[in-house]
């Protein structure tokens, strides 16, 4: 089974930021919401960096040389527009030499309450044989994440993929575990909520991450 690493399951400062992005009063400050998402991305990035391959390189100081283990190959960091941008920035703050990919994916709702996932745009470097990190604040049904993953790897399979969400549903995690490659993926989350509404929104969740970060969008 694909491993799931829940950073919120252990006591750390990480949960302070999780509590603030969930808090309905603190959410009113969109700048603070974006910054907290960015902080969570930085912590995720640090933890994921421990799983990567390192090689020792000789570093010259003013007084000599010293071997230091450094990341052998920088990852490709991908995000789903627009909600994923603050979390993505947190990763980029730490993996500052990484390549980046961007995918525009959204739910197209129908009058009967159902919806389908549509992709409008993708910009990506070559991913084949590299470490891929896909960030999206919310993992609800898992369907949009799977579609984005398949689109990103259409040009070649990555060496390993890290799926990152701040808040995930149990259903979304189980869906990805059924459909992603068992030996080449890891799921990272900040919290796991058990309930999805009939409209596939996570409860208690945190609301619409994109709206909280950038303002309410118009509805079709």
Q: Which burial class, exposed, middle or buried, applies to 133 when counting CB atoms under 10 A from its CB (0-12, 13-18, 19+)? A: buried
Look at residue 141 in the predicted model and tell me its pLDDT.
93
Look at residue 155 in the predicted model and tell me its pLDDT.
86
Mean pLDDT of the chain: 92
| Whether pLDDT at 164 is above 90 | yes
* Digit-coded pLDDT (tens) for 77-131: 999 988 899 999 999 999 999 999 999 876 665 566 566 677 778 899 999 999 9
Structure tokens at 142: 């898992």
- Crossing angle of helices 14-22/30-49, nearest 10°? 150
d(Cα 166, Cα 138) in Å, to the nearest integer? Answer: 6
Q: Are 151 and 137 in contact (CB under 8 A)?
A: no
Look at residue 112 in the predicted model and tell me its pLDDT.
63
As beta bridge partners, residue 103 has 80, 122
Look at residue 110 in the predicted model and tell me its pLDDT.
54
More confident: 50 or 117: 50
Look at residue 105 in the predicted model and tell me its pLDDT.
74
Contacts of 42 (CB under 8 A, 6+ apart): 90, 91, 93, 94
**Domain boundaries in the chain?**
4-51+72-213
Look at residue 217 in the predicted model and tell me its pLDDT.
76
Handedness of CA 31, 218, 202, 42 (dihedral sign): negative
Q: Report the 3 state secondary structure along 70-136.
A: EECCCCEEEEEECCCHHHHHHHHHHCCCCEEEEEEEEEEECCCCCEEEEEEEEECCCCCCCEEEEEC
Query: pTM for the whole thing?
Result: 0.92
Fold of 4-51+72-213: Rossmann fold (3.40.50)
Q: Are 187 and 198 in contact (CB under 8 A)?
A: no
């Amino acid at each position: 089974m694909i491993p799931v690493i829940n950073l919120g399951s252990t006591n750390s400062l990480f949960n302070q930021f999780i509590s603030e992005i969930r808090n309905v009063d603190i959410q009113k400050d969109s700048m603070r919401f974006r910054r907290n998402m960015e902080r969570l991305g930085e912590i995720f990035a640090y933890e994921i960096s421990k799983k990567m391959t390192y090689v020792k390189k000789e570093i010259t100081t003013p007084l000599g040389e010293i071997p230091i283990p450094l990341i052998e190959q920088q990852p490709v960091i991908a995000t789903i527009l627009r909600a994923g941008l603050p979390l993505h920035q947190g990763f980029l703050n730490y993996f500052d030499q990484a390549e980046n990919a961007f995918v525009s994916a959204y739910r197209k709702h129908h009058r009967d309450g159902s919806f389908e996932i549509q992709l409008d745009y993708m910009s990506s470097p070559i991913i084949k044989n590299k470490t891929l990190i896909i960030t999206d604040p919310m993992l609800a049904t898992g369907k949009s994440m799977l579609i984005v993953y398949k689109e990103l790897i259409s040009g070649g399979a990555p060496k390993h993929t890290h799926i990152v969400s701040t808040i995930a549903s149990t259903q979304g995690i189980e869906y990805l575990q059924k459909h992603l490659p068992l030996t080449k993926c890891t799921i990272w989350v900040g919290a796991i909520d058990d309930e999805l509404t009939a409209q596939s929104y996570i409860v208690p969740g945190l609301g619409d991450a994109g709206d909280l970060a950038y303002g309410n969008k118009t509805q079709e």
